[in-house]
A and B are shown apart, each in its own frame.
Chain A
Amino acid sequence: MTCYFVIVGHNDNPLFELDVKETGKLDDKRQMAQFVAHASLDLVDEAKFLKSVDRFNELSVAGFVTASHMRFILVYDGPKAQENMKNFFMDMYDAFVKALLNPFYVPNTPIASSNFRKKAQVIAKKYL
């Protein structure tokens, strides 16, 4: 099962990536997920709100744009309840805002905090 989450910064740079079903070795599926997520930025920019923005074969893409134009992209396969995805994005947004409040974090740079990663994994497990 594929479930890949990425936060994309203002310069289209990925700030945070999470493979919900981490298997260790990053294989073609992960690469395909990144491929699809990157391409779907076109649609997220147009959509500007949470919805299912794109599909590629069996992979679907959901997007969420924050007030500061950070893009949250979720690439997944299989049907997922809209409500669950919305809750996931909201909780991730909450965690992201808290990460931004860290005075040592430079905005628009990769989020390396292990704490944030753990939070993301917990949220993903809860809703996805």
Chain B
Amino acid sequence: RPNTYTDVNMGPKPTITYHDDRALLNAAMQKRLQNRLKQLQSSSKDGSSNTFSAFCDGFKFVSFESHQRSNSEQCIFEKPLLHTFWNATSDVEEYRLRTKPQIVQWLSDIEKLGGCAECLVVFCITAEVRAAKKKVKGQGDVEERLRNDFKGRVIVAFRLSSSNDNRLADSLQSFTNILNDMCFSCMEQLTEAEAKQLSNSKDEIPLPNFYSFLVRQINLAVAFEMILHNSDALEYFNAASCLLEVTLSRIAKTNESVVWLDRIASNPCTSWDYPSLIETNYSWKYLPAIEDGSCPLLHIRTFLLSRQARLLFALDKGWNVSQTCISTLHAMSRERKELKVLQAMPVGAVESWAYMTCFEAIQAIMMQSNPDSLMSAASSFLHVRAELWDYAHEKLRTLGVLCGLMPKDNCKTELIKTIQSGITKRAELAGFKEQSSEDHGQNLISLLQNQQAFKTSYLTLGEMVIGAYKHAGRKRMAFKAGSMMAEFHKDLGLWVEAEQLLSDVCSYYSEDQWSHLFIKAYSLLAECQNKLQMEDKYVSTMVLLASVPALNIIGHDPVIWMDKIMQISKKSVYQKLLSWEPLMVLNKIVLQGNKTVYSIKDEIIAEVDLKYNGPKEMKVAIASMTYSAVSSVLIKQTSPSGPTTAAKSELEELNLDNGADTLSHSRPIGMSSKRYRSLDGGGSGRSSDSKQKVFEFYLTNRQVVLQPGHNKIILSGKANALGQYTRSKISLKSGSLDFILPLLDDDNSTMISIEPCKPGVAVSFDSDIGVFLAGYPLMCTLSFQAGSGTAIPSKSKAIVTFIGACEVKLLAPVKHTATNDENQTEILLELPEVLPSATLSIPLTVFVPAACVITNGIDPLNEVPIVLALCVFNTCVHRFM
């Protein structure tokens, strides 16, 4: 079938036939008409005026005789849209005898041919005709007779000679407009009729007839595109593409043999140029072969994608180009894989084509889209770009694998040459015009030259993909790309880069609990860390891997990881601190008896219930739970110059040899080996060193063996100091591995108290002068001294009984009530809080009337029992500072 397009880069043209035996429509005339018609076409870009698309680049003039002789079936846009009969008869007799019968015959032939093309008789007003018109006045000139004889037919007078150039120009313009309008109208009718036919027949298309139906759809779309009905054209192109995909998928599933597919598959695919989405006219070269069924499937897809892109840009839907592009690339890739008949396609052809197409799509979107819409939809563009780059990256990877360009592979030079040979550089394309867009074919050819060039391109593109996804806010996709890049780095021996990428990726996967991804990423990470001799991180990673069950995943054996961990544990020279989870999960800790208060001598037993996720048993040399004191103490050293008054916030170490034991402030519990007192908050200036001291004790168990699953460990121990404690951590030590689990209880709900075995309170009553004199009020002091481990809470009650009728007055603001009778005076005191090791001294006066003593017959100078102090504390709660 001949290629009817005169220019390989131009699209199909509307066809006009001509019957002309006087060479009126000669080359010069055709050129004039073409120029004018091209102007019409290029003036309108949308369907607002009835013109043909600019890609038509004029009309095609075909002689009527050759059209008659042509036997091949013409597609919709090749059919003649207008038949013209050119004549310039000046003589009436000649018209009667010759021209008129010719026209009649011509009309009859047209009717036999059929079709909806109009007929136009062109009466050319040449110089001869003009002269003849002047002579034949009143007798009817040829034109008049022509119009009379062929009433109902379209007859146009076309001025070829005139004394006025303007009239010539007007005539040309008017004539070309008529040509255009008539052709346009005919094309509209043709497309309408064809669309109706196709819609009636599309429900049941037998598979053997599918390809002809497909071609009709494509041709109809082309026809719509010619008359700038872009929406309709796009609809049919999309339908064709979709139908092709669905049909091929069906064939792949059923595996049936289809003649047209076999024919397409048998066409050798020697070039895999990417579809030009900017200079879309390049795609017209594929159309004749598509109609024939003599082109490979790749070219059909190339053509469809080009046209779809062009129409999307024309309709200001440039964003959809990426989606259309991705769909097409996926479809082609799938068909190549699933259809056996396509297996003969050259290896790497589809991948190369897809790679180049992605870049072309990005470039086209940037260049062809409306700048305003580009700015307003910047975020959409980021997504689009990231997706296309990602796809290109994946295809590049496939090419690398196929061509042996990946690390540690051997280059397959022959295959590389074959792939390069199928790519045409833009500059070598027929009809190439200087363009500003990049030549992706050239780029691909260059990067396939050798492993170094490939590696650089692959790494660069990979980083672009990761950056683009992150910029677009698609973290997971960025991490996916990162995983693949990490593998590549690893294969290249770039362990540091691989480890860094994987560390990012792995931290994300562990949160999400995607087991396969987790295992693959961490396995790679472990390999990198081992290679880089990062022993600590390596062990941490292996612990994570060992805690994941086998899950029937190929290549994952937690037992192997566990064995490696144990080997390192035995050999390592220093302790490694590791987190419990996920190897161990704490369920609960229960103190025996559920007690919260223990005395200093009590043994504390705790049962720790945990789940061990390791694949095999693990021997733990020592398991311990640490209890830390609730408050910490700041210690300051001081010179042994004696006690000073102090505030509560700081402590001073006392010289124990001093003998003085008067403490008027609190002292933290638990410091049984040393005595401290608090220092002035502002600092007495005597301190030199200060350090933090936290008091702890441990519950332990040795030689524990953890079995996979639930385990209960009994820990026991004793506190070594009084005070309040809360558990701070659990640690399991196995070889050089310390598994630490911090236990942070914000509300102190697990606090326990370690208290003394019994409370210590001393009561003393002294007189200032050392003796008691009757008949004289004496100043005395009643002291309550709390022991080191005891506190007397506020509002404790003390009853002090004085024998005899004494008058007792308290000089301190202590709440009290006194009851007197003749035999005794009883004072009920409500004590304020007395802190441990502190003394409450209550000054009071006691007056014993002399008469009382004489009445009882006691020698007033000897052993007069004046006071019997009976202290009863009705509350005694142990509290600790």
Binding site for B on A (CB under 8 A): 11-14, 24-28, 30-31, 34-35, 38-43, 55-58, 60, 77-79
Given A26-B551, A31-B517, A79-B245, A57:B474 Cβ within 8 A: no
* Cross-chain contact B246 with A43 (CB below 8 angstroms): no
* Cross-chain contact A38 with B514 (CB below 8 angstroms): yes
Chain A contact residues: helix, strand, loop or mixed: mixed
* Cross-chain contact B475 with A42 (CB below 8 angstroms): yes
* Cross-chain contact A55 with B520 (CB below 8 angstroms): no
Closest residue of A by beta carbon distance from B483: A35
Closest residue of A by beta carbon distance from B521: A35
Chain B residues 512-527 with CB under 8 Å of chain A are: 512-517, 520
CA distance A53 to B483 in the complex (A): 21
* Cross-chain contact A55 with B330 (CB below 8 angstroms): yes
* Cross-chain contact A57 with B333 (CB below 8 angstroms): yes
Jot down 20 A-B pairs with beta carbons below 8 A, ordered by A: A11-B512, A14-B514, A26-B551, A30-B516, A31-B516, A31-B517, A34-B514, A35-B483, A39-B477, A42-B473, A42-B474, A42-B475, A42-B476, A43-B474, A55-B327, A57-B330, A57-B333, A58-B334, A77-B334, A78-B249
Closest residue of A by beta carbon distance from B336: A58
Chain A residues with Cβ under 8 A from B469's Cβ?
Answer: 42
CA distance A35 to B508 in the complex (A): 13
Chain B residues with Cβ under 8 A from A38's Cβ?
Answer: 476, 480, 512, 514, 517
Given A57-B333, A79-B249, A27:B480 Cβ within 8 A: no
Chain B residues with Cβ under 8 A from A58's Cβ?
Answer: 330, 333-334, 337
Binding site for A on B (CB under 8 A): 245-246, 249, 252-253, 326-327, 330, 333-334, 337-338, 394, 469, 473-477, 479-480, 483, 511-517, 520, 551-554
Chain A residues with Cβ under 8 A from B473's Cβ?
Answer: 42
- Distance in angstroms from A69 CB to nearest chain B CB is 15
Chain B residues with Cβ under 8 A from A40's Cβ?
Answer: 476
Chain B residues with Cβ under 8 A from A57's Cβ?
Answer: 330, 333, 394
- Distance in angstroms from B613 CB to nearest chain A CB is 15
* Cross-chain contact B554 with A27 (CB below 8 angstroms): yes
Chain B contact residues: helix, strand, loop or mixed: helix
For the A-B complex, the count of residue pairs with Cβ-Cβ distances under 8 Å equals 72
* Cross-chain contact B249 with A12 (CB below 8 angstroms): no
Picked from A14, A28, A30, A78, the residue with its CB within 8 Å of the CB of B513 is: A14
CA distance A39 to B327 in the complex (A): 18
Closest residue of A by beta carbon distance from B250: A79
Closest residue of B by beta carbon distance from A30: B516
Chain B residues with Cβ under 8 A from A39's Cβ?
Answer: 474, 476-477, 479-480
Closest residue of B by beta carbon distance from A24: B552
* Cross-chain contact B333 with A34 (CB below 8 angstroms): no
Closest residue of A by beta carbon distance from B248: A79
- Distance in angstroms from A30 CB to nearest chain B CB is 7
- Distance in angstroms from B640 CB to nearest chain A CB is 61
CA distance A30 to B520 in the complex (A): 12
Given A57-B333, A79-B249, A11:B511 Cβ within 8 A: yes
CA distance A58 to B338 in the complex (A): 10
Chain B residues with Cβ under 8 A from A78's Cβ?
Answer: 249, 252-253, 334, 338
CA distance A24 to B551 in the complex (A): 11
Picked from B249, B253, B513, B516, the residue with its CB within 8 Å of the CB of A35 is: B516
Given A43-B474, A55-B326, A79:B246 Cβ within 8 A: yes
Contacts A25-B552, A26-B553, A55-B330 supplied; 11 other A-B pairs, CB < 8 Å: A13-B513, A14-B512, A14-B514, A34-B516, A38-B480, A39-B480, A40-B476, A42-B477, A56-B394, A57-B330, A58-B330
Closest residue of A by beta carbon distance from B252: A78
- Distance in angstroms from B462 CB to nearest chain A CB is 15
* Closest A-B pairs by Cβ, 8 of them: A42-B474, A39-B480, A31-B516, A58-B334, A34-B516, A12-B512, A39-B477, A13-B513
CA distance A56 to B480 in the complex (A): 11
Closest residue of B by beta carbon distance from A33: B516
* Cross-chain contact B516 with A26 (CB below 8 angstroms): yes
CA distance A115 to B252 in the complex (A): 35
CA distance A83 to B299 in the complex (A): 31
Chain B residues with Cβ under 8 A from A28's Cβ?
Answer: 554
- Distance in angstroms from B386 CB to nearest chain A CB is 10
Closest residue of B by beta carbon distance from A77: B334
- Distance in angstroms from B558 CB to nearest chain A CB is 15
Chain B residues with Cβ under 8 A from A42's Cβ?
Answer: 469, 473-477
CA distance A56 to B465 in the complex (A): 14
Chain B residues with Cβ under 8 A from A12's Cβ?
Answer: 511-512
